[in-house]
Chain A
Amino acid sequence: MPQPEKSIIFDKVEVVIDGQAVLRPLSLRLTERRIGLIGANGSGKSSFIRLINGLLPPSAGHISVDGLALPRDKAAVRRKVGFVFQNPDMQIIQPTVAEDIAFGLHNLRRPKAEIAARVGAIMAEYGLTPFADSPARILSGGQKQLLALCGVLIMQPEIIVLDEPTTQLDLRHKNRMANLLRTLPQRLIIVTHDMALLAGFDRVLVMDKGQIIYDGTPPQSIVFYEELIKARP
Chain B
Amino acid sequence: MLCRPPAFFFNLAPSIKLAALFALSFILFFIDNIVILAGLAAAPIIIYRLAGFSVGSLGRCLFPAAILALLLFLFQFFATDFAAAGRAALRLFALLGFAAAVTATTANSALLAALERALRVLAPFGLKPRQTALALALTLRFMPLTRQIWHDIRAAQQARGGAQSLARLGLLISLWLSRLVTMQEDIAQAIEARGFDDEEREDS
Which residues of A pack against B, CB within 8 Å? 50, 53, 55, 74-75, 78-79, 82-83, 85, 87, 89-96, 99, 102-104, 106-109, 133, 135-137, 151-152, 155
Q: Are A108 and B107 in contact (CB under 8 A)?
A: no
Q: Are A99 and B186 in contact (CB under 8 A)?
A: no
**CB contact list, B80-125 vs A, under 8 A:** 107-109
Q: A93-B137, A99-B107 are in contact. Are A107 and B145 (CB under 8 A)?
A: no
Q: Of the 9-residue stretches B2-10, B15-23, B34-42, B191-199, which lies at the interface with chain A?
A: B191-199
Q: Are A90 and B195 in contact (CB under 8 A)?
A: no
Q: A95-B108, A99-B107 are in contact. Are A90 and B190 (CB under 8 A)?
A: yes
Report A19 CB to chain B, min CB distance, Å.
Answer: 20
Q: Chain B contact residues: over half helix, strand or loop, or mixed?
A: helix
Closest B residue to A84 by beta carbon equals B193
Which residues of B pack against A, CB within 8 Å? 1, 107-109, 134, 137-138, 140-141, 144-145, 148, 183, 186-187, 189-196, 198-199, 201
Interface-central residue, B148, B183, B186, B194, by most chain A CB under 10 Å: B194
Chain B residues near A99: list those with CB within 8 A. Answer: 107-109, 137
Complex: A107 Cα to B138 Cα, angstroms: 15
Q: Are B190 and A78 in contact (CB under 8 A)?
A: no
Q: Are B195 and A107 in contact (CB under 8 A)?
A: yes
Complex: A90 Cα to B137 Cα, angstroms: 14
Complex: A78 Cα to B191 Cα, angstroms: 11
Q: Are B190 and A91 in contact (CB under 8 A)?
A: yes
Complex: A127 Cα to B179 Cα, angstroms: 32
CB contact between B141 and one of A55, A102, A109, A136 (< 8 Å): that residue: A136
Interface-central residue, B109, B134, B190, by most chain A CB under 10 Å: B190
Chain A residues near B1: list those with CB within 8 A. Answer: 133
Q: Are B193 and A94 in contact (CB under 8 A)?
A: no
